[in-house]
Chain A
Amino acid sequence: MRLVIHDLEPDCFKQLFPGQLGDLHIISPEAPIHHCLGCFGCWVKTPGACVIRDHYGDLGELFARCQEVLIISRCCYGGFSPFVKNVLDRSISYIHPFFVNKNGEMHHRRRYSNRARLEVWFYGDTTEQEKHTARGLVEANTINLWWEAAGVEFFQIPEEMEGRLPCKSL
């Protein structure tokens, strides 16, 4: 499955993704999302699923079905926007609570065996320092999610992405 996580306005998304979406699964801010409470219930109470049963409670299971993931996010200080970061925070059921050593660092063990390719497109007015942070952050994400990095790109405005979308990963 191919997954797109984005924080775009509906009109902007339609402009970038016209027509049929095929097998693309879209996670968008279409419904209110509750923030992660740090309860770890998704590990020790309902393993693999968030205990908050809103529209975004089964993201870990969804991640497990992905081969390719594209994140489109406003760049906020070199990180993701609140909505996109919330999606990532609410998806930690994708990994296992136990730890393993990987390249001398502690990371969480995998729960699932898929290895998705992650591409991230940031938009907004972004400084060089913020770009450096964003690249480092995405690399750290791919290590902790056991995914592969497929690239990080920066755009001034989302409309600049138009025509780029039938790219190699989507």
Chain B
Amino acid sequence: MQVALINGSPKRHRSASGCILKYLQPLLEQEGHVTAAFSLGRPELAPQDAKGIGDCDALIFALPLYVDGLPSHLVSCLLQLEESLARSGGKMGVYAIVNCGFYEGHQARWALNILENWCHRAGLRWGYGIGLGAGGVLLSIENVPLGAGPTRNLAQALRQLASSVGQGFGGENVFTTMNMPKLIYKLAAEVGWCRSAKANGLKIRDLSLRRGS
């Protein structure tokens, strides 16, 4: 089966969505699938991407949660894909992994619902989605092998997904979180913001700047 791995992040390099797909790709290949990578990081869908995605048997999206939904550029791409896929008459299964900066994976539920609704409009078959919490940690542990340390829950969800794709399984969305305590995740994220601010020549108090007041 040819599986499209669709990165919905606007970042060209070093995205959490890219990390997830990097973990997932070998699992799919172990199941005997061939993968094809696509990057939908801009609002304009390239004709070769539309064709390439239309030629696949299953689609797996990985994307960041943006303001409780999909990033705007991806909505734009989905509108264009709806047209091209409807023309091709494909009935491929669609799966998605939405990574949240928040700790709780279930905060991705409305983004997954939007993707499911897109499938219905495009005449595709929705498999299921994974809402991954604490996704902000992914880039800092990208060299950790899947299944080790904080990636244990992610490994379980991705192995299940790799197995489901070939069998065409659908089901309820899965919500999970990277394996680290909530307080540690919160502190690590906030230390990260402070370091970034300092690297940009700011003081920590500048993070709280109120414009116009």
Interface residues of chain A, those whose CB is within 8 Å of chain B, are: 35-38, 40, 43-45, 47-49, 58, 60-61, 64-65, 76-83, 85-86, 88-89, 92, 96-99, 105-107, 111-112, 127, 129-130, 132-133, 136-137, 140-141, 144
Contact = CB atoms under 8 A, between A and B. Distances in A.
A128 B80 CA distance: 23
Contacts of A58: 211
Contacts of A96: 207-208
B102 A107 contact: yes
Contact of B107 (A80, A105, A129, A132): A105
Given A37-B10, A77-B118, A105-B104, A82 B79 contact: yes
B94 interface: no
Given A112-B210, A136-B109, A76 B75 contact: yes
Interface stretch (B31-39, B62-70, B141-149, B162-170): B62-70
**Chain A's interface: helix, strand, loop or mixed, by majority?**
mixed
Nearest to B209: A47
A68 B30 CA distance: 54
A60 B213 CA distance: 13
Interface stretch (B53-61, B150-158, B190-198): B190-198
Contacts of B107: 105-106, 140
Contact of B211 (A37, A61, A81, A82): A61
A106 to B, nearest CB: 4
5 contacts: A47-B209, A76-B79, A82-B73, A98-B190, A144-B68
Given A85-B72, A85-B75, A44 B193 contact: yes
